[in-house]
Structure 1
Amino acid sequence: MPPTDHQSSFLNRISIRRNQVSTMENNHDQELEDIELFQKHVADRLAELASSGDESNVFLSIAWFRSLLDAFLCCEAEFKAVLIIDRDPTQFIKPPLDRVSAELQDRCVKALDICNAITYAIDMVHYWQKLAEIVVTSLEERPIGDGQVARAKKVLNALLVLITEDYKEQKTTERSWSFGRRGSGASVSKDQSSKNFRYLNMCFAKSWSSAKEIQAMASNLVEPRGKEANGLAMPVYVMSSVMVFSMWALVAAFPCQERNGLPTHFPVAKNLNWTQSLISLQASIIGEEWKKKEKKGKGGLLDELQKMEKVVTSLIEFTEAFKFPAEEEKVKEVEAQVAELSDICKRMGESLGPLQQQVREIFHRLVRSRGELMDLVEQAGFITAASN
């Protein structure tokens, strides 16, 4: 997505200023100003996310996550400008930057795994969307007959199993992708489903845990103190906090392998201008969504999935009690539910692809940024060796 005007201005200003000759004292003052402005921009973006809630950007909807990832990408671009552009490489082998940059690189590696997991999770949700579309097509036909209801019931049962499945170790394809486990429905395209499951999980060992990755990312996330708070350790802390929150929210919202033990919160400083919005977002996810549905180990907190599960459950009740001809009042009720399911499918169809592209863009950005950090550390080693 295109950068905002103030982001372009910020990046240009840093690039121009670092090409100018200035005193050491001026450099330090300018660096402090850049760090402060970076934090202000982060605060603005988080505040915007915390205040979203209109129909086009419902909290924890696909649209909201697109806004979150857009904010992440903008923050990452500004962070790299503050930390890396025309930076003296030797600073990266001196404390505290040597330590915090190494920790950042480690977080990036774990975030790459999360990005891969979310990419596959989006594919999984897209598959669920296709199943829901079969239900919509079946129940939109009029009059509603036994054949349509039987077909819809079979797919609805399969879909509910998938949405509410516990993604712990996924020991067998039968367990996760077998249709007809609820009621008397027969297997629906079982072989194809097993192939889809193997595709979605081929990159991850059974021992891999999304919850443990998030725990590890947050384990050494500590606010800089004293002199470190006025140096480059601060933007590293800011960007790390945004990264951990973004990955944590994605794992909570989408079906990921082994989410049991996913932290309900991670430590965030309370005295910085950007942290109040981040704390507010955490509280909203934990208080309003997490405890309400207890979806940590199942389909996820994604708004569209929550609504899809509710509609699917109601439609299953209709199909199980169906007798031809259906009562007119019941038909109208089903029409409304099918229309809602159709709308959910439409939103998914329009937004899942772009969201997946953003996740991939974050993946590539993190790879490049980590590589640039490693290059700077290597250059610093050469410079130090040459001067000795």
Structure 2
Amino acid sequence: MRPAQDNQGSFLGRISIRRNQFVDVNNEQEQEDLELFQKHIADRFTELLSPPQPPPSDETNTVASVAATEQIMSVTWLRKLMDVFLCCEAEFKAILLMGRDPTQISKPPFDRLVPEMLDRSIKALDICTAVVNGIDSVRHYQRLAEIAVTALEQRPLGDGNVRRAKRALANLVVALSLEDKENVSGGGGGGGGGNKTTERSWSFGRRSGGSSAASKGGATIGQLKSSSWAVGRNWSAAKQIHAMTANLTPPRGNEAAGLPQPMFIMSTVMVFVMWVLTAAVPCQERSGLANHLPVPPKHLNWAQSLIGIHEKIGDEWKKKEKKGSAGLMEEMTRMEKLGHSLMEFADGFHYPAEKDAAESAAAQVAEMAEICRRMEEELVPLQQQIREVFHRIVRSRAEILEVLEQAGKVSAPVV
């Protein structure tokens, strides 16, 4: 994301210099800033929409490996999305606050738009908290996969190794398919299912015993330990996203050419990024979000790539929601497919293994090992970036509130 960061630096410097030179921001200057801001939004999301294409399956060179890790919803791609959000947020804050008369954002229509935006930021903080904890569940899946990989890499491969791998794979498959199945069965189309559904979606596949049912992938909720989250038991990702979209409509008339426009753009970007994070990792009560995220009008140039990403993720989410999935993260999706395939190998294993079956399984084990390696390298940095997003939102919200307080003091009558 180096070009985006370079653009951000020059953009912020440009605004800083011009607004320090002039007491008032004139309309022509502001219009130039708004157009450049929209261009940067479009460029950044275009880059996210068109990552390198995945290589053919038999290609193993370094370039191909890098391309494979940058597909939409991969951990690497999600990290780039966090960088994009931080860059967009910094530029937006400069447009909103830098060198501007504080009283301007306390007058209509900003007396309505600013509080709505601040309310969205509070809901985004909740989602960041839930997603950071959801990544802990993903790391648990990674550990189960690593157990299976270690067992299946043993040579010669014996019955004991396969049984150990089978237990880990069974827990992995159950964990990866559990959460959304429970949401779907509870009928929580808008995240508003009953308490029973809420409690079910609160549990993830941490195996508490060695029952044969669990080893066959048939573990029930009662056989799984509850995983504690840092948000309340009745909290709903779907409700949070839906609440963030309330009153999120494009500005019209004269407002479309002024400051309300970047406020709408940044709010749209924030909602979209939170929606993507909710889709990617295990997150409580998110049923129905695949269908109900409002997108900006297609005639807006800055929104084209964002809409394209939304459509790609939404289509995949609808497919996954029908059969149940813990998340759409590319590595998790691939891990689930490999888990099922290796379970079939384990079910039919007899020592010594048939040559063709053993070679096919070895290739799948190698791919699973590579996925685990990428997760080991990328998941913790992704968590750190989401925490950075959290703290950035907190700081920006505090700065806006401070400006509003200053505006209140300026406009207060002298007694």
TM-score, length-normalised on structure 2?
0.85
Question: 1:73-100: CA deviations, max 9, x gaps?
Answer: 1100100110011221111221111211
- Structure 1 residues 169-208: aligned runs within 5 Å: 169-171=198-200, 176-178=205-207, 183=213, 185=215, 194=225, 197-198=227-228, 201=229, 203-208=230-235
> 1:36: how far off?
1.0
1:384 is the counterpart of 2:411: yes
Stretch deviating more after TM superposition (116-125 or 270-279): 270-279
What one-letter code is carried by the residue in structure 2 that aligns with 1:170? E
Paired position in structure 1 for 2:398: 371
What one-letter code is carried by the residue in structure 2 that aligns with 1:245? F
What one-letter code is carried by the residue in structure 2 that aligns with 1:331? A
- Structure 1 residues 135-154: aligned runs within 5 Å: 135-154=148-167
**Equivalent residue of 2:122, what SS?**
helix
> 1:21: how far off?
3.0
1:115 is the counterpart of 2:128: yes
Find the aligned partners of 1:174 and 1:32 in 2 and give their Cα distance.
50
Distance 1:128 1:220, change over 3 A: same
Paired position in structure 2 for 1:257: 284
Find the aligned partners of 1:291 and 1:237 in 2 and give their Cα distance.
27
Find the aligned partners of 1:277 and 1:295 in 2 and give their Cα distance.
26
**Equivalent residue of 1:224, what SS?**
coil
Query: Is the CA contact (8 Å cut-off) linking 1:224 and 1:234 kept in structure 2?
Result: yes
What one-letter code is carried by the residue in structure 1 that aligns with 2:94? A
Query: Is the CA contact (8 Å cut-off) linking 1:157 and 1:182 kept in structure 2?
Result: no
> 1:7: how far off?
1.3
1:31 is the counterpart of 2:33: no
Runs of 4+ deviating beyond 6 Å? 172-175
Query: Is the CA contact (8 Å cut-off) linking 1:121 and 1:255 kept in structure 2?
Result: yes
What one-letter code is carried by the residue in structure 1 that aligns with 2:79? R
Query: Is the CA contact (8 Å cut-off) linking 1:211 and 1:258 kept in structure 2?
Result: yes
Paired position in structure 2 for 1:225: 252
- Structure 1 residues 187-336: aligned runs within 5 Å: 194=225, 197-198=227-228, 201=229, 203-264=230-291, 265-287=293-315, 289-294=316-321, 298-336=325-363
> 1:238: how far off?
0.6
Paired position in structure 1 for 2:141: 128
Stretch deviating more after TM superposition (83-92 or 166-175): 166-175
- How many residues are treated as equivalent by the alignment? 378
Query: Is the CA contact (8 Å cut-off) linking 2:290 and 2:318 kept in structure 1?
Result: no
**Equivalent residue of 1:177, what SS?**
strand
**Equivalent residue of 1:252, what SS?**
helix
Stretch deviating more after TM superposition (375-384 or 358-367): 375-384
> 1:359: how far off?
0.4
**Identical positions, percent:** 50
Distance 1:84 1:182, change over 3 A: farther
What one-letter code is carried by the residue in structure 2 that aligns with 1:185? S
What one-letter code is carried by the residue in structure 1 that aligns with 2:19? R
What one-letter code is carried by the residue in structure 2 that aligns with 1:14? I
Question: 1:164-204: CA deviations, max 9, x gaps?
Answer: 1125423498774335567463999x9xx847x12xx1x22
> 1:102: how far off?
0.8
Query: Greater relative contact order (Cα 8 A, min sep 6): structure 1 or 2?
Result: 1
> 1:146: how far off?
1.0
Find the aligned partners of 1:216 and 1:267 in 2 and give their Cα distance.
15
| Unpaired segments ≥5 residues, structure 1 | none
Query: Is the CA contact (8 Å cut-off) linking 1:161 and 1:181 kept in structure 2?
Result: no
Paired position in structure 2 for 1:345: 372
| RMSD, aligned CA | 2.4
What one-letter code is carried by the residue in structure 2 that aligns with 1:374? L
**Equivalent residue of 1:165, what SS?**
helix
Query: Is the CA contact (8 Å cut-off) linking 1:173 and 1:194 kept in structure 2?
Result: no
TM-score, length-normalised on structure 1?
0.91
Distance 1:301 1:148, change over 3 A: same
> 67, 82, 100: which one pairs with 2:95?
82
What one-letter code is carried by the residue in structure 2 that aligns with 1:33? E
